[in-house]
Amino acid sequence: MIFNSIEFILYFLPVFLVVYYITPDKLKNYILVAGSMVFYAFGEPWYIFLLMGSMALAFFSGRAISQERNSSKKSKRALYILAMLLQILLLLFFKCAPVLVRVSAAKSIGLPLGISFYTFQILSYLTDVYLGRIQGERTFTDLAVYISMFPKISAGPIVGYGDIAGEIKKRKVTVVNFDDGLKTFLYGLILKVLLADKLSILWHEIQTAGFVSISTPLAWIGAFTFSMQLYFDFYGYSLMAIGLGKMLGFSLPENFDNPYMAKSVREFYRRWHITLGKWFTRYVYIPLGGSRKGILKTIRNLAVVWFLTSFWHGAGINFFAWGMSLCLFILLERILDRKNLLEKSHVFGHLYILFVIPLTWVCFAISDSREMAVYFGRLFGFIRGTNVKPGDYLQTLSNYGFYLLAGGFFCTPLAGKVYDKIKNNIFGMFALAVLFWLCIDSIMKAGNNPFMYLRF
């Protein structure tokens, strides 16, 4: 199931919440796991067994390698490595299968819902247990909540077990949480449905026309549009996750912090998909030595992290192009900008980011290398256009100007501040209610498949 769907918002969620709220606290975790299984199995009937298998594996190995057990260090180590390998291989298999099997929409076909996310959380759990940071969880339901709770199973935020264990065991569910969570959820829903999905239509139009046939201004608009679409899509979804968590009594961490306000690429990645960055830092970068072992090792460590990050996003050449260019920029910044002038600048840093980041997203967006080359060719004018419609960007601006401007606004911290003000005001809430139904209306017309609703 996905958050922006009728079945989730109008059926599953209300029913679940009612049951959850009337359930006594001691039994809430059972309800949560049961609900999460329903949520997961809804679209993925077979992959639910994969998830259950992974949870069982995590539970039993976690218990076996836990510090408190009296088995030998060697066997613990072996078991840890085995469990980690199994989980990693599973993820690798599904990541590579779409590429090897040559399916067109590699993103959505074959990959079990949330596997990248729950795998990483299982890996972090096993590692933390092995290193003695936490004890192996004794109650299966509690671990199951951690791995499979529906607010975060599909797309994170990625949390460590230690960060959430307290709340799993004991949390307060209040009407304040409910209301606050609902408002957060709504904000996310609006960003996803009324902004991201609309902007994605623009990007789709550009693809439909063919990259060789767009004007240079339109190519730039396209790059910015995709950048915003991706952001609002993911940020919106993360907010929905956080909001749902709140409604259930959990405080999930933020995943985005106005990333387009960053002034250096390093800073950008501290603000974008924050929980993934933290995961890589904690479980890969620092164990490798981080930046404390000299410049060569630092370069190696960064390269490894970015290589893995690229692969995590997808097993295609374009993802590596994306990831490794970012790695390059980060390295260059480290070497050339030791005084952090970029981040201290007032204007230049912003311009730098608004120029570089959309270009990296172009790599991310286009999986075919030839098509990517054509796109860059149109961006910088070194490939001649074929059948370019004169004034195409003007038409686009006229059709989408509102969404582009809104998008720009929501990239700034001002948007969040305004939201915080209006969400507690009666008129603001009325507006939110109306926007909510606008979202529902849009979802109903779109029918979840974003390309089904495109009229020809």
Partner 1 sequence: MKQIVQRTKYYILILLIAFTGLLYFGKDDIFAKTGFGTISAGDHEENYDLSDNTASGNDVSGEITGGDVSGTAVSGNDVSGADITDGDISGNSVIDRQKYMTVTEDYLDDALFIGDSRTVGLHDYAKLDNTTFYASTGLTVYKMFTAKIATIPGSKKKVTIEEALEQQKFSKIYIMVGINEMGTGTAETFKQKYSERIERIKELQPDAIIYIQSIMLVTTERSNKGDYINNEGIIERNNAIAELADGERVFYLNVNEAVADETGGLVSEYTFDGVHLKAAYVDIWKNYLLEHAIQLEE
Site for partner 1 in 162-181 (CB under 8 A): 175-176, 178-179
| Distant-in-sequence, close-in-space partners of 67: CB < 8 Å, separation ≥ 6 | 129, 132, 135
Extract the tokens encoding 326: 């970012």
110 in contact with partner 1 (CB under 8 A): no
Binding segment toward partner 1, per CB under 8 A, in 196-204, 227-235, 355-363, 408-416: 196-204
369 binds partner 1 (CB under 8 A): no
List of residues 6+ apart from 72 with CB closer than 8 A = none
Q: Which amino acid type is present at position 198?
A: K
Q: Give the binding range for partner 1 (CB under 8 A) out of 114-122, 153-161, 206-214, 278-286.
A: 206-214
Q: Does 7 bind partner 1 (CB under 8 A)?
A: no
* Piece of 110-118, 210-218, 248-256, 316-324 that binds partner 1 (CB under 8 A): 210-218
159 contacts partner 1 (rule: CB under 8 A): no
Q: Which residue is it, tokens 């109903």?
A: 444
382 binds partner 1 (CB under 8 A): no
The answer to the question of residue 109 lying near partner 1 (CB under 8 A) is no
> Does residue number 240 form part of the binding site for partner 1 (CB under 8 A)?
no
Decide if residue 6 touches partner 1 (CB under 8 A).
no
Choose which of 101, 293, 438, 450 interacts with partner 1 (CB under 8 A): 438
Which part of the chain contacts partner 1 (CB under 8 A), choosing from 41-49, 73-81, 159-167, 419-427?
A: 419-427
Distances from the Cα of 256 to the Cα of 45, 147, 177, 275, angstroms: 31, 21, 21, 9
Per-residue contact string for residues 212-231; x = within reach of partner 1 by CB under 8 A: xx------------------
How many whole angstroms separate alpha carbon 311 and alpha carbon 306? 8
* Cα three-residue angle 294-302-284, rounded to 5 degrees: 100
Closest CA to 263 of 338, 336, 351: 351
Question: Nearest approach, Cβ of 450 to partner 1 (angstroms)?
Answer: 11
* 442 part of the interface to partner 1, by CB under 8 A: yes
Query: What is the spatial distance between Cα 229 and Cα 400, in angstroms, rounded to a whole number?
Result: 13
**By CB under 8 A, what part of segment 386-405 binds partner 1?**
386-389, 392, 395, 399
Q: Please, are residues 188 and 154 in contact by the beta-carbon 8 Å criterion?
A: no
Which range in 67-75, 120-128, 301-309, 434-442 contacts partner 1 by CB under 8 A? 434-442
367 is an interface residue for partner 1 by CB under 8 A: no
Q: Which of 337, 396, 145 is nearest to 248 (CA)?
A: 145
Q: Does 441 bind partner 1 (CB under 8 A)?
A: yes
- The three-class DSSP label of residue 103 is coil
CB of 40 to partner 1, least distance (A): 24
Q: Are 340 and 329 in contact (CB under 8 A)?
A: no
The 3-state secondary structure of 376-421 reads HHHHHCCCCCCCCCCCHHHHHHHHHHHHHHHHHHHCCHHHHHHHHH
**Binding-site residue total for partner 1 (CB under 8 A)?**
45
Residue 192 touching partner 1 (CB under 8 A): no
- Token pair 């759990």 is at which residue? 125
Helices (H) and strands (E) in the chain — how many of each?
A: 23, 0
Choice from 152, 183, 263, 378 touching partner 1 (CB under 8 A): 183
In our burial notation (b when 16+ CB lie closer than 10 A, e otherwise), range 215-246 reads bebbbbbbbbbbbbbbbbbbbbbbbbbbbbbb
H or E, element range at 74: helix 73-100
Considering only 20, 21, 60, 436, the residue that binds partner 1 (CB under 8 A) is 436
- From candidates 45, 46, 68, 104, binder to partner 1 by CB under 8 A: 104
Which one of 135, 207, 281, 448 is in contact with partner 1 (CB under 8 A)?
207
Stretch that binds partner 1, among 41-49, 116-124, 128-136, 420-428 (CB under 8 A): 420-428
Q: What Cα–Cα distance (Å) separates residue 148 from each residue in 18, 68, 421?
A: 20, 25, 34
Region 255-294 residues binding partner 1, contact defined as CB under 8 A: none
Cis-peptide, bond into residue 157, ω within 30° of zero: yes
Binding residue for partner 1 (CB under 8 A) from 261, 356, 440, 448? 440
CA gap 314, 409 in Å, rounded: 30
Task: CB nearer to partner 1: give 328 or 388.
Answer: 388
Nearer of residues 26 and 437 to partner 1, judged by Cβ = 437
The contact set with partner 1 (CB under 8 A) reads 104, 175-176, 178-179, 182-183, 198, 201, 204-205, 207-210, 212-213, 386-389, 392, 395, 399, 423-424, 426, 429-430, 432-434, 436-438, 440-442, 445, 451-456
